């Protein structure tokens, strides 16, 4: 018998050598009205536990499922996010939905991002409340093929998903933007719930007082 050289395609060789390794990036969509420490804690845990290169906070322009009256200006939400993520090299901003305008549908956004960055695998971070809401997302069957959903538990929500979700263990943090807005209106302290530079901005701009 003659020994034959195994046939290895370029693609197989690259895969074996790890040369085709795509960038692993987190994408954290939300309204961030305002960003709070619950968001920051979950993004840090997901990013470090999964070994992601970056976690992009991606504020929506107009979420499909929210009461528009309660959303504040995108520029204020972006400014608060900038202040909140400053100093963490893992964190960055992705403003594609705000630049595109209109209602933000995650499927369209992720399709656009995949076209811009074909070398990137996206890990789409969501809380347990959103995990339960996935069946209502526009074009969800196509979206699950584009991204890996990463779920984080949230007090008050029992997750049940019809779609594949990679769960990351992070402490359950009972903070919501709704509660933060309510605390501003009732004059309660935001300290340790929201980063100090974000509290300064809320006070300086008089956000959420009425």
Which spans of this chain sit near ligand ATP (rule: CB under 6 A)?
Answer: 30-33, 38-39, 42, 126-127, 129-130, 152, 154, 173, 175-178
Q: Which is nearer to ligand ATP, 118 or 164 (CB)?
A: 164
Closest contact distance (angstroms) between CB of 29 and ligand ATP is 7
CB-based contacts of 69, cutoff 8 Å, min separation 6:
none
Closest contact distance (angstroms) between CB of 206 and ligand ATP is 19
**In this structure, what are the phi and psi dihedrals at residue 94, rounded to the nearest 5 degrees?**
-125, 110
Q: Give the relative orientation of helices 196-205 and 74-85 as an angle to the nearest 10 degrees.
A: 150
* DSSP H helical ranges for the chain: 10-17, 37-49, 74-85, 96-100, 106-116, 128-133, 140-146, 177-185, 196-205
Closest contact distance (angstroms) between CB of 82 and ligand ATP is 15
Q: Which is nearer to ligand ATP, 21 or 65 (CB)?
A: 65
Q: Which residue is nearest to ligand ATP (CB)?
A: 127
Closest contact distance (angstroms) between CB of 116 and ligand ATP is 22
């Amino acid at each position: 018998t003659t020994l034959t050289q195994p046939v290895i395609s370029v693609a197989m060789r690259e895969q074996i050598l790890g040369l085709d390794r795509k960038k692993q990036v987190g994408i954290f969509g939300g309204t961030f009205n305002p960003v709070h420490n619950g968001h920051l804690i979950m993004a840090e845990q997901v990013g470090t536990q999964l070994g992601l290169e970056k976690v992009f906070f991606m504020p929506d322009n107009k979420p499909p499922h929210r009461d528009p009256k309660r959303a504040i200006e995108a520029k204020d939400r972006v400014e608060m996010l900038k202040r909140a993520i400053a100093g963490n090299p893992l964190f960055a901003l992705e403003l594609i939905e705000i630049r595109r305008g209109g209602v933000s549908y995650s499927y369209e956004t992720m399709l656009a991002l995949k076209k811009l960055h074909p070398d990137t695998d996206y890990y789409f971070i969501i809380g347990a409340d959103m995990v339960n809401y996935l069946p209502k997302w526009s074009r969800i069957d196509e979206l699950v093929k584009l991204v890996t959903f990463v779920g984080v538990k949230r007090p008050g929500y029992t997750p049940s998903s019809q779609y594949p979700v990679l769960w990351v263990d992070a402490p359950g943090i009972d903070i919501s933007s709704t509660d933060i807005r309510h605390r501003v209106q009732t004059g309660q302290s935001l300290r340790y719930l929201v980063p100090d530079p974000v509290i300064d901005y809320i006070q300086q701009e008089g956000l959420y007082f009425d």
